[in-house]
Amino acid sequence: MKFPLLSICAAAMLGFSAMAVEEMSRARVIRISMETNSLWQIRISENGKINFLSKQNLTNRLSQLRLRHGDIILSTAQPTRRAGAALATWDWLSHYCESNMVAIYVCTPTEKGPDYLSLPIYHWTSPFDNPRALSAASFFYEGKFLGRGLTGYTNLVADIDRNAPQKVFILGSLYDLNRSFGPFERPYEDQEKLLDAILKKHGTELLVLNPIPGF
C-alpha cells in the first residue's frame, strides 16, 4: 500500500510544481483609455498578440479577466477625485489593483506626443516581497514569455536589439511598497549595462513610469 501512496504524493508534487512554473510564465498587459465617464477602450496583450475589445464598462471587463500579480495595466487616463461616474470607476480600479496586487501605470500623452498605448511593452514579474530577485523573475514581451532569470533578461535585451524600436516601455510587476524598496526597483539592476548598450546602439528611448498600487 505504500507504493501507490508515494506515487500519489509524487504526482501531487509534480502537479504543484507544474502549476508554479505555469504561473511564472504567464502575464498580461492591459491598456486602457477613457472614452467617456462610463465607456473605456480596453486592449489586452497576451502571448505577443494585442486584442482590441469593443468599448464597454471597464469594471465588468476587468472582473472577467481576473487579473493578478504579474499582470500590469497601462492607462492614459488620469485618476480623478471629482464626483461622477468616473470617480466610481477609479475608486473600484484602485481597490481592484491593490487587492489583486496588479501594477497600474498612468501616463498622459501630450497633444503632439506619441500614442503611448501603441508603443511596445516589455515587462517582468518578480516576487511581491522581493523585486530584486533576478533568479525568481520572469520576462515578457506583450505577454509573450521570454524566459526566467538571467536567461529571460538576456532574451529581452536580444529582442529589443532585433526589433530596434524608437521608444519602448519596460514595466514591472507590483511589489510591496511597505518595505524599504525604492520607487524603481528591478531584478536586472546589476546587469543593466547590457540593456543600456542596446538602447544606445539603436537610439531607443526608454520610457520610465512608476507603478501605483492604489490612488
Q: What is the dihedral of CA 178, 181, 185, 190, to 10 degrees?
A: -150
Amino acid 25 reads S
Q: How confident is the model at residue 6 (pLDDT cuts 50, 70, 90)?
A: very low
Q: Where are the domains of the chain?
A: 29-106, 116-207
Say how far apart CA 84 and CA 175 lie, in whole Å.
Answer: 31
pLDDT at 102 over 90: yes
pTM: 0.83
Q: Is 48 left (phi over 0), alpha (psi -120 to 50) or beta?
A: left
Q: Is 202 exposed, middle or buried (0-12, 13-18, 19+ CB in 10 A)?
A: middle
Contact 214, 158 (CB under 8 A): no
Q: What is the mean pLDDT of residues 199-213?
A: 87
Contact 24, 68 (CB under 8 A): no
